[in-house]
Amino acid sequence: MGICLSNQIKAESNFQTDTGLTSSSKMVSGDGPESSYSSSKSSSVSGPMTSRTEGEILQSSNMKIFTFGDLKAATRNFRPDSVIGEGGFGSVFKGWVDEHTLTATKAGIGLVIAVKRLNQDGWQGHKEWLAEINYLGQLQHHNLVKLIGYCLEDDQRLLVYEFMPKGSMENHLFRRGSFFQPLSWSLRMKIALGAAKGLAFLHSAEPQVIYRDFKTSNILLDSNYNAKLSDFGLARDGPTGDKSHVSTRVMGTYGYAAPEYLSTGHLTAKSDVYSFGVVLLEILSGKKAIDKNRPSGEQKLVEWAKPYLTNKRRVLRVIDARLEGQYSLVQAGKAAKLALQCLCMDARSRPNMDQVVTALEQLQESVKTESKKDQKHYRRPTKRKKPSSKKEPKNSDDRLVGPSTEQDTLLDRAAARTETGAPPQPPLTQSTDLGQTPNQAALSNPRPTNIQHRATEANRRKRAYPSPDNSLEKAEVS
């Protein structure tokens, strides 16, 4: 099995790419060579690579070479209902293989895979297909999508990936519907951190790898929302030796490419950092980097959002309203500040990806701390008995209390003394029953009126000074 390319395939045109779920257009400009040099590629995970030569598939023990028949059976003959994504490169199909032997199985049995089938024309598409194999075949990291294998048979070119059940970050941020619910603040920060770790791993490889096409559609999510970078078709080796940059033809996606790369074609790791800043801004705002459906002053997200990122209060205008305030203002300010640093026009002033990872890890830790505090705060009210919502009867309702009397006036005065802090009146002569309200107790045990008081006093005197004719008692009572 080998690579057979026609000399007649020379055209290079704008190439559409996809993560397996959605498509996005790339830009290609300039007439210069794709890269000013070629170099070797190594990974701290799988060991050093052999020298990379244009048009050659590097040997890798991490990948399986599939036959076209294998993948045809795994995808049920590439049935239309197996399609999970489409783009200018071709289509992506869902399939199943045995977990151990990687042979085709029946639908729903075994390991789920995503099979990217390339169109049969286009030199640029074939170059990106080769780059995908040579990078993902040599690099392994938990924040990079796993390339299981490939197929090159006659004019058929296919790539086989692990299946990512949650799709792309792009879908969760920008698509609406019951399947795509707004991501919480903590999930957004988790995804941003995972994607940053993937970029940091590439930049720390020897030689360095520049991703060159970092965007939300290339961030795939597994069942636990762990982020993995996909689509390495535009990846390039970074500068080596005393070189500060790689000179390339400008390629990438509009809205994400660094300004110095667009103007000069000079590619560095800081170009990826700028792209990360754009993606982080999309994560915070829930808005696309470029959207012509927005008002004229808001179509370019970076230009619109930058003035708000420097102010802790104004930054709220940028944060996605679908979060409904379920985030810390301090955390939002820190994330906005990090995005602004990544978007600095001077590439030298941008942080490197290791620094970005550290900042996001600290932010993630603060998210967990705030979450624990919130849980403690919300548990406290459950220990307290909620006040009764039952209202006391009003005096005006004669069906419950009856007409206003002197007793009501005394109760009102007692209530007023309680509110103003005045000393309470002596307790009532009879104890209140359990379950009675103070008003009910007062009504059932009223204070004696003046006439009752005088009669009581007369009885006391009568007992102390008895008279034969009871004249004192009669006089007092009458």
Does 413 reside within a domain? no
Distances (CA, A) of 377 to 185, 326, 364, 381: 19, 15, 20, 8
Amino acid sitting at position 134 = N
- What was the pLDDT predicted at 248? 84
- Residue type for position 425: Q
116 is in an annotated binding site: yes
Check which CATH number belongs to the domain holding 296 and give it: 1.10.510.10
Residue 455's identity, in one-letter code, is A
Query: Does any domain span residue 179?
Result: yes
> How high is the pLDDT of residue 383?
52
For residue 237, being part of any structural domain is answered with yes
Q: How many domains does the chain have?
A: 1
Residue 386 lies in a domain: no
Any domain includes 442: no
Longest alpha-carbon distance in the chain: 145
Query: Which residue do the tokens 């286009």 mark?
Result: 122
Please tell me the pTM assigned to this model.
0.68
pLDDT of residue 243: 83
Tell me, what's the pLDDT at 176? 78
Is the residue at 443 inside a domain?
no
pLDDT of residue 213: 93
Neighbours of 124 (CB within 10 A): 20
pLDDT, one tens digit for every residue, the chain (478 residues): 333 333 333 333 333 333 333 334 455 454 443 433 333 333 444 444 443 435 677 777 678 999 999 999 999 999 999 999 887 678 999 999 999 999 999 999 999 999 999 886 667 788 889 989 999 999 999 999 999 999 999 889 999 999 999 999 999 999 877 677 899 999 999 999 999 999 999 999 988 999 999 999 999 999 999 999 999 989 999 887 778 788 888 888 989 999 999 999 999 999 999 999 999 999 999 999 999 999 999 999 999 999 999 887 899 999 999 999 999 999 999 999 999 999 999 999 999 999 999 999 999 888 777 666 654 443 444 555 556 555 544 444 433 444 445 555 555 565 555 555 555 555 544 444 445 555 555 555 555 555 555 556 666 665 555 555 544 444 444 3
Provide the annotated active-site residues: 213
For residue 131, tell me if it sits in a domain. Answer: yes
Tell me whether residue 206 is in a domain.
yes
Strands (E), 98-214: 111-118, 147-153, 156-162, 209-210
Query: Who's near 241: CB < 8 A, 6+ residues apart?
Result: none
Q: What is the pLDDT of residue 54?
A: 55
Q: Which domain holds residue 320?
A: 16-377
